[in-house]
Amino acid sequence: MDNEAFLGYIDGIVDIMTNKKGVISKLTKDEILFCGPDENTADKMDMACLSSRDRGYKFYKAFTTGKSPQLGGVPHDT
């Protein structure tokens, strides 16, 4: 999977989760979303975690599973 396409997907999810300007939400409290690797995306979990952090998602450490230990994760292949 192309990194640019993957980050576009992640950015869309983060925009919804962080109630960016123009996004209408009827949620009464913050939600935590856990994204896990799927076919051909396992190597992108660190990138998704860091991207969500850079875009202001306060639960970025929980955003992806399978990320590296340096980001607080446990890689699914170990």
Q: What is the pLDDT of residue 1?
A: 63
How many angstroms separate the CA atoms of 64 and 44, rounded?
Answer: 10
What are the domain boundaries of the chain?
3-71
Indicate the SS3 state at residue 24. coil
pLDDT tens figures, 23-78: 777 777 778 888 888 888 888 999 999 999 998 888 999 999 888 889 988 877 66
Query: Cα–Cα distance between 73 and 30 in angstroms, integer?
Result: 22
Rounded to whole angstroms, how far apart are CA atoms 10 and 2? 12
